Amino acid sequence: GAVVSQHPSWVICKSGTSVKIECRSLDFQATTMFWYRQFPKQSLMLMATSNEGSKATYEQGVEKDKFLINHASLTLSTLTVTSAHPEDSSFYICSARVQPGELFFGEGSRLTVL
């Protein structure tokens, strides 16, 4: 199956700094990628839809200035958590659409803000 890779898998940062998480489609081109957030022992919540060459579409309640998404190429989408605070600590997962009805997920990135 298609491979989606996330980097880093685990990041610790100080409060007030910005952190970038990358999501790459390794063996296919993805015009659309998705970003999710998962709190401990909870389900995944869609944060935003990332479209190559255009602005991301954010779900209701997600701060677009806090979570910057860039999809500059057909194989890379990035999520930048700006001025991170402890409440931003979470597990972030991306997925990429291979074809209609088929999504592949990255391994996830655990963010801890001290």
Partner 1 sequence: AQTVTQSQPEMSVQEAETVTLSCTYDTSESDYYLFWYKQPPSRQMILVIRQEAYKQQNATENRFSVNFQKAAKSFSLKISDSQLGDAAMYFCAYLNRDDKIIFGKGTRLHILP
103 binds partner 1 (CB under 8 A): yes
d(CA 45, CA 27): 26
Q: Is 100 in the site for partner 1 (CB under 8 A)?
A: yes
Residues 6+ apart with CB under 8 A from 13: 19, 84, 111, 112, 113, 114
In eight-state DSSP terms, residue 59 is P
Closest approach of partner 1 to the CB of residue 83, in Å: 26
Minimum distance of partner 1 from residue 108's CB (angstroms): 5
The residues that touch partner 1, with contacts defined as CB under 8 A, are 1, 32, 34, 38, 42-46, 49, 91, 93, 95, 97, 100-105, 107-108, 110
